Amino acid sequence: MSNHLKFFIDGAWVDPMVPALLDVIDPSTEDPFTQISMGSKGDVDRAVAAAKAAFATFSVTEHAERLALLKRILEIYNERYEDIAQAVSREMGAPIGFARDAQAWAGRAHLESTIAAFEEFQFSELRGSTMIVREPIGVCALITPWNWPLNQIVCKVAPAIAAGCTVVLKPSEIAPISGVIFAEVMEAAGTPKGVFNLVQGRGPEVGQVMAGHPDVDMVSFTGSTRAGIIVAKTAADTVKRVAQELGGKSANIILPDADLETAVRKGVEGCFGNSGQSCDAPTRMLVPAEWHDEALLIAREAAEAHTVGDPQAEGTVLGPVVSEVQFNKIQRLIETGIEEGALLVTGGPGRPENLNRGYYIRPTIFGHVTPDMTIAREEIFGPVLSILPYETEEQAIEIANDTVYGLAAYVQSGDLAHARRVAARMRAGSVYLNYPDWDTMAPFGGYKQSGNGREYADWGIHDFLEIKGIVGYGS
């Protein structure tokens, strides 16, 4: 509790310049469980000044020194692993098993992948008589979301550190306590002062100030497309680099040569994972029209097997969604799906019958969804799956790509060569064939309004580097 009301700036825990408190809500009870301080422009100015001062020396440290720091961060992260999992479960309602096995694991996995990539990373190469040098871009503002807090914090902070950058992090004010613990990890690992700074706060008061700050060289933002546009416009005045990982409405094409039972069941699990709060979730399931009714029966059975309830209870598969705002948005979209004529297969509006408080959503399946329906076009961010029938493979590909988003796509087939051919036509930054394991060495990022830039491993390190050509170097 001691650091919940403080910010981490220039190697020390400090009080905010203007006192202001925000309750942090446990979404399973709707009650506050702690408070954080809210930052202001003055706090951002302090943090950016510290990062700018630290950049002068940290940017020229040896590769081996930064590698050793990353390894110490990983060591301390593992020591605090259970604290991190408990914080994520409390602040965003993730079932504790999922918080350990996926949420906290993601942070560890990204540290491991960044370290592995960094050990082999080359910062210079001679091309003819020109030396190509990759140098740290500078002070980086990192703005991260609530849905995968450690995943997004680590896959920004770790490559920035590897590149030799200094950072100011603003985690989501909705799920901020895991960010506090991560700052404690950075402190305990001996991160040089000013290299890593943490300021809490809302987007308008802190995030936008960071994005527009003249001493910030880069903004890396993960969140909604709406907020990403605001960040990009704010950053444009100072012509800084902006990397964005934004929304998604990912299609999951089940081809006629797939095993329907397996493909549908795993598709439901993929959509409902993290209570549906993943930007790359396969939320649009496309099935051959002749299999549509059978697919609905399989999906209904799979959905109704998801136990919804207390995140700390044994056997809970789905916890609540993160906030009242999200709960109300999802309820509106479910009601819109019914009003627009989609078939409600299971679930629907309201909480599950055994729950009268907490932001719990009934696992919901819609069938006979058409591409023009709101639930097929808008990001719902809850455990709601839309199933769309298609007549031909060409039509399936057209429907899949008919979206403003392009973060991810999924293809299921019994013939890997067939799946690869369809994957080649997907307009998305990541395509997943037959539900593979999470690969933290693969690039992650989107096409179209799902953002720009790529995260994870060496892809993330590249995003935090400038490229310099020294012509005549080899003459």
3-state DSSP of 426-452? CCCCEEEECCCCCCCCCCECCCHHHEE
| Residue 55 C-alpha from the chain's centroid | 27
pLDDT of residue 475: 77
pLDDT of residue 1: 55
Residues 6 or more apart from 194 whose CB is under 8 A from it? 10, 11, 50, 51, 53, 54, 55, 58, 166
- Alpha-carbon dihedral sign for residues 382, 387, 390, 393: positive
How many CA atoms within 13 Å lie on the side-chain side of 324? 7
Task: Report DSSP letters for 19-82, one per residue.
Answer: --EEEEEETTTTEEEEEEE---HHHHHHHHHHHHHHHHHHTTS-HHHHHHHHHHHHHHHHHTHH
CA angle 9, 14, 17 (to 5 degrees): 100
Q: What are the residue numbers of the active site?
A: 245, 279
Rounded distance, CA 258 to CA 203, Å? 44
Structure tokens at 226: 């709406």
Rounded distance, CA 301 to CA 268, Å? 10
Rounded distance, CA 460 to CA 117, Å? 10
**C-alpha separations of 353 from 230, 348, 417 in Å:** 40, 11, 45
pLDDT of residue 351: 97
DSSP reduced 3-state for 468: strand
Rounded distance, CA 49 to CA 44, Å? 8
Asked if 449 contacts 232 with a C-beta cutoff of 8 angstroms, the reply is: no
pLDDT of residue 205: 96
> What tens-digit pLDDT sequence spans the chain (475 residues)?
589 999 999 999 999 999 999 999 999 999 999 999 999 999 999 999 999 999 999 999 999 999 999 999 999 999 999 999 999 999 999 999 999 999 999 999 999 999 999 999 999 999 999 999 999 999 999 999 999 999 999 999 999 999 999 999 999 999 999 999 999 999 999 999 999 999 999 999 999 999 999 999 999 999 999 999 999 999 999 999 999 999 999 999 999 999 999 999 999 999 999 999 999 999 999 999 999 999 999 999 999 999 999 999 988 999 999 999 999 999 999 999 999 999 999 999 999 998 999 999 999 999 999 999 999 999 999 999 999 999 999 999 999 999 999 999 999 999 999 999 999 999 999 999 999 999 999 999 999 999 999 999 999 999 999 999 999 999 7
Listed by start position, the domains of the chain span 7-246+450-470, 251-445
Element (H, E) at 377: helix 374-377
Number of helical H runs and strand E runs in the chain: 16, 20
CATH number attached to the domain at 7-246+450-470: 3.40.605.10
Query: Per CATH, which fold does 251-445 belong to?
Result: Aldehyde Dehydrogenase; Chain A, domain 2 (3.40.309)
DSSP reduced 3-state for 287: strand
| Residue 200 C-alpha from the chain's centroid | 18
pLDDT of residue 2: 84
DSSP state of 249: -
pLDDT of residue 314: 86
- Tens digits of residue pLDDT in 195-232: 999 999 999 999 999 999 999 999 999 999 999 999 99
pLDDT of residue 79: 98
Rounded distance, CA 148 to CA 170, Å? 14
